[in-house]
Amino acid sequence: MKQQLRNLVDRKVLLERMQTSEECRTTISFYQYAHILNPAFFRDYLFSHWDEMDVMGRTYVAYEGINAQISVPTRRFEDFKSHLYSISFLSGIRLNYSVDDGKSFFKLTIKVREKIVADGLNDEAFDVCDTGVHLNATSFNELTTKDDTILIDMRNHYESEVGHFKGAITPDADTFREEIQLVENMLQGQKDRNIVMYCTGGIRCEKASSWLKHKGFPNVHQLDGGIIEYTRQVREKGLENRFIGKNFVFDERLAERISDEVIAQCHQCGASCDDHTNCSNVSCNLLFIQCPSCAEKYEGTCGERCHEIIGMSEVDQRKLRKGKKNSARIFNKGRLRLRARDENDA
C-alpha cells in the first residue's frame, strides 16, 4: 500500500488536538540555500520521515533550497536532528530555537515552491552567495549605535508594528518582494553608510544583502540568525536587549514577547495593544490588532459589517462566501485595510 504523503485529518480536529495536548514540543526554524535537483522527491522524502516523528509545521522546498518552521516532540528531537544532519547539505546546520515553545503548529505541511522566499528577483542576474557581513548579537549592538549606520527592518509592516529594534527604519510594505525595491530606492545616495538589516530568522536578509551588494552598496551587514538568534544570545550572554515589543511569527502563536514594552495600538479603538488576531468572520480572516474590549464588543471581528455577518445563519454565510477567495488577505496590513474599508463605507 502506498504511503499517504499529506494530511487528511480535518483542520478543526487537528487544532483541538494541539490545544489539548500536554506533550512537550520544541519549535525551531532553519533555512539553507542549496541546489536541489528534484524538489518533489525531496519533499516526499522529508514528509515520510517527519510524519513518522510527529513533526508539525510549514516547510517550503525549491530548486534553490529549503525554508522550514516546525515543531518537534521534545522526546524525539535528537532523532529528528540526527535525521536532518544525515542530509549532506543540512549537516550541522544551525537551528533557530523559538523563544517561547508554546503551541505553534498543528499539522505538517511541506510544499514545493518556485522559491523558498518570494522575492521577485532574477537570481541569475547576481551572485546570491555574495551576502552581507553576518553579525552576532554583540557586533550588532556595537554597529547599530554608530552614527553612520542605517538599520533597516526587512520584515513586513504588520511584523514591525508590534516589535522592532531601537532606531530601525520600518518600511511600509506588505511583502518582501515589495520591500526590496522600496529599500533600494530609499538608500540611493547613501552607499557609503554602514547598512545593517535584520528579519525574523535571517533568510530574507540573505537575499536582500546580496542584492544590495550587487547594486553597489559596499558596506552591507545582516543580523545572523535574525531576531530569534539575537534574543537567544542576548539572554545567554546578558547583553543589552535593543529589541522592543514582540517578534511576529507565522504560526498559531502569532508572536513571541521579547520585551515588556507594548508599542502598537488596537486598530479599532487606539488603545495600547499588540495582540494580533484574525477576523472571526471566515470570509474575511483579516489579520489585525484588537484589544480585549473590542474583541468582546465585535466578537472577534474587524468591524460592524463582519460582526453582522457572523450573526447570520451558517447557510447565509456560505452563500456570501461562495466563489470568493480571501486567503491572500490573511496577512495584509490590517490598519490600512480597515481604513480603506471605512473610507469606502463613508
74 alpha carbon, distance to own chain's centre: 22
Candidates 188, 192, 190, 148; CA nearest to 167 is: 148
Q: Which DSSP string corresponds to 249-274?
A: -SSTT-EEE-SS----B-TTT--B--
Cα distance between residue 208 and residue 198, in whole Å: 10
CA dihedral 6, 10, 15, 20 (to 10 degrees): -110
Candidates 250, 240, 334, 244; CA nearest to 284 is: 334
205 is catalytic: no
Helix or strand (DSSP H, E) at 52: helix 39-52
Instruction: Give me the helix-helix angle, 203-214 and 176-186, nearest 10°.
Output: 40
Cell matching residue 102: 508554546
Give 181's contacts (C-beta < 8 A, 6+ positions apart).
120
Residue 105 identity? F
Cα distance between residue 227 and residue 135, in whole Å: 12
Q: Which of 199, 205, 266, 306 is catalytic?
A: 199
Cα distance between residue 157 and residue 152, in whole Å: 12
Give 204's contacts (C-beta < 8 A, 6+ positions apart).
117, 119, 154, 155, 176
Cell matching residue 206: 540573505
Cα distance between residue 222 and residue 134, in whole Å: 5
E-assigned strands of 136-240?
A: 149-153, 163-165, 194-198, 220-223
Residue 254 identity? L
Give 82's contacts (C-beta < 8 A, 6+ positions apart).
none
Active site residues: 199
